[in-house]
Amino acid sequence: MRIVVQEAPFDLGAESDAFAAGRHDMGAVVTFTGVVRDVNDQLDVMEIEHYPGMTEKALTKIATEAMQRWSLGDVLVIHRFGRLAPGDRIMMVATAAPHRRDAFEAADFLMDYLKSRAPFWKKEHGKDGTSWVAAKDEDEDALSRW
Amino acid sequence: MDILYFAWVRERIGLPKERITTDAATVADLVAELIAREDRYAVAFSDLSALRVAVDQELTDFDAPLSGVREVAFFPPMTGG
């Protein structure tokens, strides 16, 4: 299990390759990548704030729960903070499992929990000023699936 | 005890962190104490349903006891991912 919280960009290909390398017992690797979205060409910068210390603890707790609930070989979570531009990668999760259903479900679970239980906050700097991204009810509701 | 503020809570209160001495028994008591200090706290804490709290870096609720606690953080609902 590896949890990384960093300001710098990450190399998706290199991280994916390194994550699965040498695990011949894992038949399935799922990766999910979150990207800064700009639907209407309004966004200049996405600023991501986090709670150093608690962030790592919260992500470790979520990943540990995933390892306990599904038959997984490994979990990787990388999440960035700081100022990002539209199109930049914000974060990735990867799960490795003997079988694909465990890998898919665990990745889905990780994303649902990471959305509303890991201490990150997003602020949009756009053409019309700045605003904090509000949490969505549907993100909180998604947790009841698990 | 260290009190930390994040996102718009930090902006409304005007600082990221402060160290205070308090006899507050619970998070709710601490909030009442802060609100009584200055308007900017009253504004930030005007709607507790819009806030979340972590005690010693664990998410909890406003009834949580503060005995032996080193760090309390207030912030809006999280938006990771």
B6 and A132 within 8 Å at the Cβ level: the answer is no
Quote ipTM for the complex: 0.95
| B75 touching chain A per CB within 8 A | yes
| A57 touching chain B per CB within 8 A | yes
Please write the tens of the pLDDT for every residue from A17-45.
Answer: 999 898 899 999 999 999 999 988 899 99
**Encoded amino acid at B18, one letter:** E
Is the model's pLDDT at A137 over the cut of 90? no
Cα-based angle B69, A49, A95 (whole degrees, multiple of 5)? 90
Average pLDDT over residues A117-139: 94
B79 and A135 within 8 Å at the Cβ level: the answer is yes
For chain A, domains (ranges, CATH) are: 2-131 (3.90.1170.40)
In the prediction, which pLDDT does A140 show? 87
Answer whether B26's CB lies under 8 Å from B66's CB. yes
Is the model's pLDDT at A68 over the cut of 90? yes
Q: Give the A:B interface size as CB pairs under 8 Å.
A: 69
Query: Between β-strands A120-126 and A89-97, what pairing exists: parallel, antiparallel or unpaired?
Result: unpaired
Is the model's pLDDT at A65 over the cut of 90? yes
Helix (H, G, I), strand (E, B) or coil at B31: helix
Is the model's pLDDT at A4 over the cut of 90? yes
Name the residue among B6, B58, B79 with its Cβ closest to that of A133.
B79
In the prediction, which pLDDT does B15 show? 96
Is the model's pLDDT at A128 over the cut of 90? no
| B57 touching chain A per CB within 8 A | yes
Helix (H, G, I), strand (E, B) or coil at B55: strand
Q: Which chain A residues touch B54 with a CB distance below 8 Å? A: 51, 54, 119
Answer whether A99's CB lies under 8 Å from A78's CB. no
In the prediction, which pLDDT does A125 show? 97
Which residue from B minimizes the CA distance to A54? B57
Q: Which chain B residues touch A90 with a CB distance below 8 Å? A: 81
Please write the tens of the pLDDT for every residue from B25-44.
Answer: 999 999 999 999 999 999 99
**Taking the alpha carbons of B49, B55, B58, B61 in that order, is the dihedral positive or negative?**
negative
Question: Domain residue spans in chain B?
Answer: 2-75
A121 and B79 within 8 Å at the Cβ level: the answer is yes
In the prediction, which pLDDT does B71 show? 98
What CATH class has B2-75?
alpha beta
Name the residue among A53, A120, A140 with its Cβ closest to that of B80.
A120
B7 and A123 within 8 Å at the Cβ level: the answer is yes
Instruction: Please state the three-class secondary structure of chain A as a single string.
Output: CEEEEECCCCCHHHHHHHHHCCCCCCCEEEEEEEECCCCCCCEEEEEEEECCCHHHHHHHHHHHHHHHHCCCCEEEEEEECEEECCCCEEEEEEEEECCHHHHHHHHHHHHHHHHHHCCEEEEEEECCEEEECCCCHHHHHHHHHC
A119 and B6 within 8 Å at the Cβ level: the answer is yes
| A12 touching chain B per CB within 8 A | no
Helices (H), B3-66: 7-13, 27-37, 39-44
